[in-house]
Amino acid sequence: MSELLWTYVGIPLLKILVILLALVLLAAYLSWFERKLLAYMQIRLGPNRVGPRGWLQPIADALKLFVKEDLTPGFGEKFVFLLGPVLIIVPALLVFSVIPFGPSPNLFITDVNIGVLFVLAVSSIGVYGIILGGWASNNKFSLMGGLRSAAQLISYEVPMGFSVVTVLVMAESLSLVRIVEAQREAGVWFIFPGFVAFFIYFVCGIAETNRNPFDLPEAESELVAGYHTEYSGMKFAFYFLAEYANMVVVSSMATVMFLGGWLRPFPNVAALNFLDVVPPLGWFLLKVAFFLFVYIWFRGTFPRYRFDQLMGLGWKVLLPVSLVNLLVVAYFVALPRGQV
Amino acid sequence: MQFLVTHFAQAVFMLLALFCLGGAVGVVLFRQPVHAALSLLASFLGVAGLFVLAQGEFLAAVQVLVYAGGVMVLFLFVIMFVNVRTVGKEVQYLRPLVPAAVVGALLFSALALTALWALSRRPLQDPSPLAMVEGAMVGNTEAVGWVLYRDYLLPFEVVSVLLLVAMVGAIVLGRKPKEGERP
């Protein structure tokens, strides 16, 4: 009995704890990385006072947010106001229960046979945190931010879904572990046959995480700070944490679906065996780090879209392109099997 | 402890059912539309949990993705757009209550009869038809695909056309009349 308890309760709980702690630390240090990188891109120094080269800055920020006064706008929507941060942080962290960081079962919490759908479904709940937080703040700018976010998420979820379907057509499975295995068997990362899908997925991923150039829900020049204008202290920290955790989610999913997850480059070419000195987990983290860098690079480079341009891009460009791309990929998957 | 292990599924079912029903009751009872919408969201998530319990994991994911992630967000979007903050304070009328109660009772009895009929047909403990195709276990996703695109292809297409008609109708109704055109 105690052995059963250990296998089914103890070890999963331990894994969850490790991943949760690593994730929260990663999100905190991602903010440091972002500030530093943006500073270098703009020929500044960035945070460099707290600890050597500013290494302790995220810790200081976290401490500040912990002890900061927690204000609630007083008009009687306290429960919904509290629900906002909860509904955004829970899905953002929950998604990591199915993301495979490596091949051995010890490197992911669980592998469910509807993995991709699980990720899409759970992360679609996160928008409630934004829209409800914006509404419960009783503030025009917050409400505008929340509504913009809702419209944006719904519009970009559609082309994102179609680009994910092209991966499913190639991998013939919804399980994330199985998708990586399929890329090893095919001997090629899905980014090469599915380049258009990859492009659409990443653009939509940036839009879904409300990052620049699609950060209209919190456009500071028009909406103060958008949906989290009225939030302070730890509630604000949850919004902040969720944004960075969602960036990691989109990067991890892009890695798993298009860059071969934990696989090294060209996994079937024996001449490149020396690349195995980097463990699978290392490859995974490297690829995720690359995507996170691209996120911040975009923020340092692109100006923000106007809202009608954003909607036009989503519905008139990305959606038709993703549909046509799906048809083309499905045709070429079915062709060698004589199913056309 | 042993009791808990053997009745675990049942306990989870009870909890989820309570969640669904509580959410559904809340939709009717809350006067603030945003609260009602949130209550409906809770009910949807409960239904998704019930699907998981019945080993219909594909249905559960789609339930969350489509209803909780899409439909309900649009509901909230519309509620907030038309600014219904004052609805909760408006006078409500009780006169339509009697016909509503009669119709509600009829619908409820139809539902209860269906449940009883289903109960007599198949033991509830066996969820395998949700994951089987021609006697082979293939998982819920494939099973749903086979049923939808082979066994029930015609109804599926009819429903698609119906949705298309509804969409065209909505566009025609919501379109701004052109210059000089009668609305």
Per-residue model confidence as pLDDT tens digits over A23-43: 888 888 888 888 888 888 888
A169 in B contact zone (CB under 8 Å): no
**Residue A9 in this model has a pLDDT that exceeds 90:** no
A289 in B contact zone (CB under 8 Å): no
At how many degrees (to 10) do helices B72-81 and B33-53 cross? Answer: 180
Q: Which residues of B130-153 are buried (b: 16+ CB within 10 A; e: fewer)?
A: bbbbeeeeebbbbbbeeeeeeeee
Whole-number percent of chain B with pLDDT over 90: 16
DSSP state, B107?
Answer: H
**Residue B89 in this model has a pLDDT that exceeds 80:** no
Inspect the interface and report whether the beta carbons of A132 and B62 lie closer than 8 Å. Answer: no
Residue B90 — very low, low, confident or very high, per pLDDT cuts 50/70/90?
low
Q: Which of A:91-130 have CB within 8 Å of B?
A: 112-114, 117-118, 120-122, 124-125, 127-128
Higher pLDDT, B167 or A134: B167
Per-residue model confidence as pLDDT tens digits over B14-29: 889 998 999 999 888 8
Residue A120: both structure tokens together: 């899409």
The pLDDT of A226-249, averaged and rounded, is 82
Pairs of CB atoms within 8 A across A/B: 70
Residue B105 amino acid letter: A
Inspect the interface and report whether the beta carbons of A154 and B58 lie closer than 8 Å. Answer: no
Backbone angles phi, psi at A40, to 5 degrees: -65, -35
Q: Is B69 exposed, middle or buried (0-12, 13-18, 19+ CB in 10 A)?
A: buried
Per-residue model confidence as pLDDT tens digits over A296-326: 898 888 888 888 888 888 888 889 999 999 9
Longest dimension (CA), chain B: 77
| Per-residue pLDDT at A321 | 92
Q: What is the CATH number of domain B2-87+103-174?
A: 1.20.120.1200
The pLDDT of B33-56, averaged and rounded, is 86
Q: Which of B58, B61, B80 sits opposite A147 (nearest CB)?
A: B80
Residue B158 — very low, low, confident or very high, per pLDDT cuts 50/70/90?
very high
Q: Which of A8, A86, A114 to mutate to test the interface with B (most CBs of B within 10 A)?
A: A114
Domain definitions of chain B by residue range = 2-87+103-174
Inspect the interface and report whether the beta carbons of B64 and A125 lie closer than 8 Å. Answer: yes
Q: What's chain A's average pLDDT?
A: 83
Residue A83 amino acid letter: L
A174 in B contact zone (CB under 8 Å): yes
Q: What is the distance between the alpha carbons of residues B150 and A19, in angstroms, rounded to a whole number?
A: 42
Identify any residues that bridge with B133 across adjacent strands, giving them in sequence order: B136
**HEC assignment per residue over chain A:** CHHHHHHHHHHHHHHHHHHHHHHHHHHHHHHHHHHHHHHHHCCCCCCCCCCHHHCCHHHHHHHHHHHCCCCCCCCCCHHHHHHHHHHHHHHHHHHHHCCCCCCCHHHCCCCCCCHHHHHHHHHHHCHHHHHHHHHHCCCHHHHHHHHHHHHHHHHHHHHHHHHHHHHHHHHCCCCHHHHHHHHHHHCCCCCCCCHHHHHHHHHHHHHHCCCCCCCHHHCHHHHCCHHHCCCCHHHHHHHHHHHHHHHHHHHHHHHHHHCCCCCCCCCCCHHHHHHHHCCHHHHHHHHHHHHHHHHHHHHHHCCCCCHHHHHHHHHHHHHHHHHHHHHHHHHHHHHHHCCC
Element housing B133 (H / E)? strand B132-133
**End-to-end alpha carbon distance in chain B:** 70
The total of other beta-carbon atoms located within 10 Å of residue A304's CB is 17
The total of other beta-carbon atoms located within 10 Å of residue A148's CB is 25
pTM of the model: 0.83
Q: Distance (Å) from the C-alpha of residue B47 to the closest C-alpha of chain A?
A: 14
The pLDDT of A181-206, averaged and rounded, is 85
The answer to ipTM > 0.85 is no
The pLDDT of A143-166, averaged and rounded, is 85
The pLDDT of A220-246, averaged and rounded, is 79
A46 phi-psi bin (left φ>0, alpha ψ -120 to 50, beta other) = left
Q: For residue A75, what is the nearest residue in chain B, using CA coordinates?
A: B85
